[in-house]
Amino acid sequence: MKKKIVYTDEPMGDVQVITDFLPSPAELAFKEDGVKVTLALSKSSVEFFIFKSEASKHQTQYQRMIRRLLDSYVEAQGTVASHAKSTGRKRAAI
């Protein structure tokens, strides 16, 4: 990023706290069919989430764990979206 982000202490407005829906590394290690895509991740992202070391512990590929993380996020967003519909609330854009 060329432009530096400047954070302030301004009020955030209407905020909704949602429960932690991300799976543990062990839950990300199982195998399932997928579609091939090319995705470049930053080195810091892969290192931060310790995918490589956790994948090694569970004898799987770190790419598979990342895929499961994304799948879990999509599932949770579907739950949040259906809850928002039933309550008449709008879901925040990501």
Residue from 75, 63, 1, 73 nearest 32 by CA: 63
Residue 85 is predicted with a pLDDT of 52
Determine the Cα–Cα distance for residues 78 and 76; give it in Å rounded to an integer. Answer: 5
For the entire predicted model, the pTM comes to 0.43
For the chain, the domains span 25-87
CB burial class (10 A; 0-12, 13-18, 19+) of residue 28? buried
Determine the Cα–Cα distance for residues 35 and 70; give it in Å rounded to an integer. Answer: 13
Q: Give one DSSP letter per residue of 15-39, joined into a string.
A: -------PPPGGGG-----------
Residue 82 is predicted with a pLDDT of 56
List, run by run, the mean pLDDT of 10-residue segments along the chain (94 residues): 81 84 77 76 75 80 82 81 51 46
